[in-house]
Amino acid sequence: MMAERARGRTIGFVPTMGALHAGHAALLDEARRRADLVVCSIFVNPKQFAPTEDLSRYPRRLDEDRALCETCGVDVLFAPGADEIYPPGFDTQVKAGRLASFLEGAARPGHFDGVLTVVALLFAVVQPHFAVFGEKDFQQLALVKRMVRDLRLTVEIVAMPVIRDVDGLALSSRNGYLSKDERARAPALSRALMAAQDEAQHGVTDIARLTGAARAVLEATPGLTVDYLEVRDPRTLESLATLDRDARVLMAARLGAVRLIDNGPVFAGVRYQR
């Protein structure tokens, strides 16, 4: 890649764990629009899975992923093995800071250390000018941006909006774990997000009321258990008590054995009549 940079070509990068879907395709399309050369990585990173999580059954379908990459105009598909990324004797880790101490970080201790470690390694290998990440994993996006800033890495982070199915469910590789019945109930997360947004649009600024409206939707869904539901500052991820600025609703819930996350914006000072 250093030779491509020396030739003056812009390198765009989309790091993934495979099991690619239309959400990933949107990231790849954006990279293709911006770059002379597009690199996509597929690596199921063992360091971001706890022993009790789904590393062994995480979907792996390289042939299908390769086909999607070709359709999206990817120039280089990088699909290394674990020993290539973490060779024998590897003993270094990027430690996530305060931004990893709540929400997903609290639910999955050590997860973001593994994420930042592999992202830093992939940046070192690929040497991209920019990398595209989805807002679906909003806390992860914030942590990657913080790492780039704190470590003075010379890569631009490009954020892309959450991509949803026609019924509102945020696209995720783990949606494939849902049974037919669970899949029918899963859009409750996006409906909960819309309930909070509706309250905000009608002048509600009390965060307890916003989250209460969203929680009511989730708790009315059979078999769904709420993990967290919070409203935070989109830049600092500071917890808010009042909607005195534009903010982000972040939630996680379980349907059976499947853990789903979702998020979206709520805007301060935008009011409509009921």
In SS3 terms, 194-263 reads as HHHHHHHHECCCEHHHHHHHHHHHHHCCCCEEEEEEEEECCCCCCECCECCCCEEEEEEEEECCEEEEEE
User: What phi and psi, each to the nearest 5 degrees, are found at residue 134?
Assistant: -90, 150
Strand partners, 228: 252
The SS3 assignment for 4 reads helix
User: What phi and psi, each to the nearest 5 degrees, are found at residue 42?
Assistant: -125, 110
**What is the helix (H) or strand (E) element at residue 13, kind and residue range?**
strand 11-16
Strand partners, 225: 254
Compute CA distances 256 → 49, 146, 186, whole Å.
19, 34, 11
Candidates 24, 111, 129, 202; catalytic one = 24
Query: Is 24 a residue of the active site?
Result: yes
Residues that are catalytic: 24
